Structure 1
Amino acid sequence: MTEVATIAKTSWFPSFSCPSKSQRLAEAEGRILSALGIRYLAKLVQIPFKNTEISTITVKCEQPAPATQHPIVLIHGFGAGVALWGATIKRLAQFQTVHAFDLPGFARSSRPTFSTDHETAEQEIIDSIEQWRDKMNLEKMNVVAHSFGGYLATSYALKYPNRVENLVLADPWGFNEMDPEIANRLTIRQKSIFWMIQRFTPLAAVRFVGSYGPTLMRRMRPDLAQKYSDDVYDYIYLANARNPTGEAAFKSLSENLGWAKQPMSKRFHALDTTVPVTFIHGERSWIDWKSTRSLFGDLEHVESHVMDSAGHHVYADDADRFVEIVIAALRARAPDASGLDVETTVVAL
């Protein structure tokens, strides 16, 4: 385990220097987190899988008595990284120590090559998560995961249920089966898009335009600057500018990107019922959360919430409400913890 930073800081290089993309990504991450006043420890955690280094940040709990026994672990979605959890990290750290890591193949973590077989690739990723947990000396985790990360977190909980105290799924991808009739309903333009998707990695266009990438992201997603800062465009571009091994793994696990080859609708019921699950959906999300809710919402160990006015990125669209739901769910499953009142824990920042 290699410590690379102790507090969010911005490093300034002389005008004649030419920092690498990795250095620029670290700086963009630091600017986003430091702008929120987050004091964090950053580490590169080396795991056995192909000597991969997992970029990890830790934010210590701000309270003397955390309200759960085990820390919160954040797993980001496709094409993202730890910095996009932003304000959520700041708020959750008022409740419990927070660890957030970049999935292998994404952002600041190493770019190992995964198997082209989708079942093997999925096992490689979730076993990497288990190796990371072991290296971090975490007995159990309160896992909070978004989108593709939610799919992986569920797969992890299926294989390692004794390591998960609570599973919180923020608008998870990959739960519903692909409609076999969808191809017949597509327009010629939509079919051409799917054809392109099948032949390239999802964010190939961002890499293709090179240094124009941040500008392209800014034009495509002007709303992101309102959720974070203008640094988010550099961060997203640089997080996806390197060898896209994580993207390749995601592509192998997916059907036309929108669905999983092994959807959780066929697997979720095998999850150990001792693992409490909380779904948090965005009402305006492109994810078919209504189907997910109808499939699993009535199970005794499952809670389901829908955040009004939120889209797919529920944790960023309304961080206060999102954290309030997460904290309430974790506290409800930890009756013996000497915790904090939700209303006094979640404050506007």
Structure 2
Amino acid sequence: MSCAATETTVPSINGERRRSWMSDWLPSWRPTSEAQLEEAEKNILSSLSSEYRDLYVPIGEGAVIRCLVMEPQEPSFPEKTPLVLIHGFGCGIVQFFKNLDHLHRDRRLYALDLPGFARSTRIPFPEEAEAVEAAFVSALERWREGVGLERFVLLGHSLGGFLSLSYSMTHPYRVRHLILDDPWGLVDPIAEEELQQKYSLLFRSILKIASRFKPFDWIRGTGPLGPHILRRSRRDLGRVFREDFLDYVYHSNVQNPTGEEGYFCMQHRFAWAKRPMLHRIGTDLNPDLPVSIIYGARSWVYSLDKSVMELFSGARPEGSYVGTYLVDDATHHVHAHKPEEFNETVREILEIVDSSADMTYCRAST
């Protein structure tokens, strides 16, 4: 299959979808459109001081992955390893707007919208967790082929961290260094007995009911009230990012929610993955692939199991490189809540990559 990235073609994101009288009627009930999503994104990216360009990379069957590309401010020879950013659930490129200017200083940077999210095509996904994961990974590999990358540093946040791990397991020699930004889906789901001991009946009841619905069903179902309800209920996102970030979140998630449907098939009670990564790291992840993991000290993901860094390191063979970083007072969106600390940490990791100190560690330890 021949793939070529283009800067001019801007295809519809919604792709093919099953039609019914309700799906024909509901979109007109929701105050959203692809144009409004694009405008909400532009409003936030206008705060960048660096130039960027858009690419729409074909991944087959009429679908594209949209990505943002930034050239190095201080080009080097030979060129340094490019950096690829993958966002978390319910978001897209914009979630890294506080980091983009700082992370492309001396290397090319790519930030992409996962298929099914934001401004990439809303491709259909299977209904089984392993197949959904494989579909995401296959799309990412077709994107890589389309932009012509050989090796790169891969940084994924939350769901993007889970998928970055999965991609690295399948295509280990494409990833020079893996950076996990508060990754979702590492630890086992909590046992029912422990759930009953730790949490109230009210919380367990809410969790049980909520687990039957996709995360943004409640926003889509409230029609024209959706934007107001989202702003009222997720004021935390407005504080961590900025107020109009919620406009972007709204328009990203009330349109054809295929990425959300794919995530729903992979998750267990929202917080956990059906196929947690800690059981797979030791056997499926190349022991020579260096990994760095960044958590926020106040992150809900980190709080699920505060021994996760130790467990992750223990799951890797002796001699494998694992760098661990805990950002004080940071929540799940470390990159937005504590951008200065996050950017400094990532640049520190990139300096380790540039000096091959991570690979030297692996060779010295084996």
TM-score range, shorter chain: 0.7 to 0.9
Match of 1:230 in 2: 243
Say what the alpha-carbon RMSD is for the aligned residues: 2.2
- The gaps in structure 2 that reach 5 residues or longer are 11-30, 358-366
Which amino acid in 2 is paired with 1:198? S
Distance 2:223 2:106 in 1: 40
**Deviation readout 1:4-32 (Å, 9 max, x if unpaired):** 499xxxxxxxxxxxx96111111111110
**Partner amino acid, structure 2, of 1:328:** E
Question: What SS does the corresponding residue of 1:99 show, helix, strand or coil?
Answer: strand
Q: How does 1:289-304 map to 2 (within 5 A)?
A: 290-297=306-313, 300-304=320-324
CA distance in 1, matches of 2:233, 2:195: 26
Q: Give the share of equivalent positions with the same residue, in percent.
A: 35
Partner residue, 2:18: none
User: CA-to-partner distance for each residue in 1:119-149, whole Å, 9 max, x for gaps?
Assistant: 1111011111111011010011211110011
Instruction: After TM superposition, give the deviation of residue 335 of structure 1 in Å.
Output: 1.4
Cα distance in 1 for partners of 2:327, 2:140 equals 28
Question: Does the aligned pair in 2 maintain the 1:45–1:55 contact within 8 Å?
Answer: yes
1:187–1:76 Cα change, 3 Å = same
Q: Deviations over 1:87-129 (max 9, x none)?
A: 1111101132111111111111111111111111110111111
Q: TM-score, normalised by structure 1?
A: 0.87
Q: Within the alignment, does 1:163 sit opposite 2:174 as a pair?
A: yes
**TM-score, normalized by length of structure 2?**
0.83
What SS does structure 1 have at the residue aligned with 2:307? helix
Question: How far did residue 197 of structure 1 move?
Answer: 2.8
Deviations 1:258-303 (A, max 9, x none): 1111101101112112211000000000113522112123654101
Kept in 2: contact 1:126–1:156 (CA 8 A) = yes
Residue 70 (str. 1) matches residue 74 (str. 2): no
Kept in 2: contact 1:67–1:95 (CA 8 A): no
Q: Which amino acid in the other structure matches residue 106 of structure 2? A: F
Structure 1 unaligned spans of 5+? 7-18, 338-349
Aligned residues: 324
User: What residue is the counterpart of 2:288 in the other structure?
Assistant: 274
Spell out the pairing of 1:32-111 with structure 2 (5 A cutoff): 32-48=44-60, 50-65=61-76, 69-111=80-122
Structure 1 equivalent of residue 328 of structure 2: 308
Contact 2:295 2:326 in 1 (8 A): yes
Distance 2:300 2:178 in 1: 22
2: CA distance, partners of 1:32 / 1:272: 38
Match of 2:15 in 1: none
- After the TM superposition, which parts of structure 1 deviate over 6 Å for at least 4 consecutive aligned residues? none
Q: Secondary structure at the match of 1:297?
A: helix
The answer to whether the 8 Å contact 2:65/2:114 transfers is yes
User: Which residue number in structure 1 is paired with residue 14 of structure 2?
Assistant: none
The CA distance in 2 between the partners of 1:5 and 1:324, in whole Å, is 36
- Aligned residue number for residue 33 of structure 2: 21
- Partners in 1 of 2:78 and 2:345 — Cα distance? 14
Distance 1:85 1:265, change over 3 A: same
